[in-house]
Chains A and B, each alone.
Chain A
């Protein structure tokens, strides 16, 4: 039984957590934006920009963590543009988001071509290494998965935990959620809906960029065109699948990563000899659509999602 072998292998579970990590960063980023009332379709491009910015910073000689910071700042800059255009100016979140995706993607490709005009094979950096937690890593099946990841993976889990705590346990989180549900109530409290929403988009976009940077700085060690490959759109589906709750969204990301890791391994088995590889590659996208369909009936969409707030309008 191929399937049993795969499910019992330590490398499978390690891959699940690894594949889930960038999705967790970016899904948390999107979730923060949407809870504040802003759909951020810039996610795909911001991930590309983050993947490039973090990688090129390290390639230029900065330490790895500085690379993460650079990626985050680049993501926040694009988030600021998105936030200013969609929140105070109230422009279509669909159009601005897609525009940001095109802009960020093209900017990353342009910068890559300027920085490395002559290369044919993408140069490599020394990426984040898996941590060694001694005997914990040697636990059969799950040891590597839980204790043999790179520091960025643990950061992703911390970010998810912090997102949950801030959203549900702090006044800031309450204000942010209210901005996405009932903005006039926030304004009645003397808080600025505009400020909260722009802040959420900026922070969320920073997280998306770190998710992108995970790809070039932890999962792989080079920057390729097309490397984000729809992961951003999948994260938007994961937010819906997780019913806008951080915990459920992380579970969704893990589940999704499980199927993704499984399809890669199934390609190597007898099944892969019969079924064209493209069918396996379709699985993640089809699953995302299925997830949306399954969750559509009981989704608790933030009431003011995609509704611009103009003070004084009733």
Chain B
């Protein structure tokens, strides 16, 4: 078999195939539920209900989507330049660390502290990714492995700080930092509803990233570098500088996920502020086909599956890991479907 480009894919093809990918994912979900001895329809219903069945559920989904928008954007920006940033997890924790450091150690009043916390976080995340990218552009070291390994190093580093200098003396021995002062936290968007301004910031970042990608020279250079590195270099685009700029944006966005989780939701730094938001960001970005505005939609979808599966597993005997399997299969089906909208399989 071989692949032949399709000049003008019809609507049936470009809409039908992604729809088929979603349908196949639902089939997998049903099989998984059967495997666990549960009724597939009831399980799917419980996931839906847990994700969006009430005001509380919906707000929970949007809260969970917030860090995923940031990490999804971080991945989308980087992958567009074929910069394989698999280290959003480390950048997130670097951002969370600086958020807590600035927020608890400097004793600044809230209105001054919050922007400083965010800026410090962005800087920390950007620097975390800068190392691997400089190794790539200067020495040709593959960034996939270095960014992946940095995730482990960063978590150990945070663990060391939380059991050492940053440990909350009133924390009953738990490895957690002191809590941020009340006025150094992100306020709720609407009083009484559990949704903080981190979500608003995420939407602004999505819009900003979209503007950069589609309306600026840098966005053009990023796309050119990702499509054809040698060609871009030949056309006079400073590809190494583009890679570095991409890395700074990507690392900064991932770090804002840490800022928003600490300052908006948790109030302090622990080792479990992220259940893999950095890795899930890859799924979010791919499902959105690396489109920054699409990232918002896919982050809410992915968050809904997680929140829904959590709530479902409390009611039914189906393990919550069903969410991770579903998202991984959705990712694989979707990349295949998207490819098949542009290519036709021919025999011979």
Contact = CB atoms under 8 A, between A and B. Distances in A.
B24 to A, nearest CB: 13
B152 A99 contact: no
A158 interface: no
A190 B148 CA distance: 39
B324 A105 contact: yes
B157 A102 contact: no
Given A90-B3, A95-B335, A286-B153, A110 B139 contact: no
B329 interface: yes
A194 B282 CA distance: 27
Given A106-B325, A296-B140, A99 B149 contact: no
Contacts of A220: none
Nearest to A104: B328
A233 B283 contact: no
B145 interface: yes
* Interface majority SS (helix, strand, loop, mixed), chain A: helix
B153 A240 contact: no
B336 A85 contact: yes
A288 B141 CA distance: 12
B139 A297 contact: yes
A310 interface: yes
Interface string A92-130: 101110111011011101100110010000000000000
Contacts of B322: 110
B139 A276 contact: no
A278 B159 CA distance: 7
Contacts of B286: 95
A233 B149 contact: yes
A99 B332 contact: yes
B197 to A, nearest CB: 30
B159 A110 contact: no
Give the size category of B's interface with A.
35 or more
* Interface majority SS (helix, strand, loop, mixed), chain B: helix
B156 A109 contact: no
A279 interface: yes
B331 A94 contact: no
Interface string B178-209: 00000000000000000000000000000000
Contacts of A91: 335-336, 339
B277 interface: no
B3 A310 contact: yes
Contacts of A88: 1
B23 interface: no
B325 A92 contact: no
B286 to A, nearest CB: 6
Interface in B91-146: 135, 139-142, 144-146
Interface string B321-341: 110110111011001100100
A282 interface: yes
B149 A285 contact: yes
A237 B148 CA distance: 11
A89 interface: yes
A114 B319 contact: yes
B329 A103 contact: yes
A294 to B, nearest CB: 10
A288 B139 contact: no
Contact of B282 (A95, A230, A234, A281): A95
B160 A278 contact: yes
Nearest to B148: A233
A299 to B, nearest CB: 8
Contacts of A264: none
A106 B145 contact: no
A41 interface: yes
A102 B327 contact: yes
Contacts of A76: none
A162 interface: no
Contact of A278 (B157, B279, B339): B157
Contacts of B15: none
5 contacts: A90-B3, A99-B283, A233-B145, A236-B144, A288-B145
The 5 A-B residue pairs with the shortest CB-CB distance, nearest first, are A106-B324, A113-B319, A103-B328, A278-B160, A102-B328
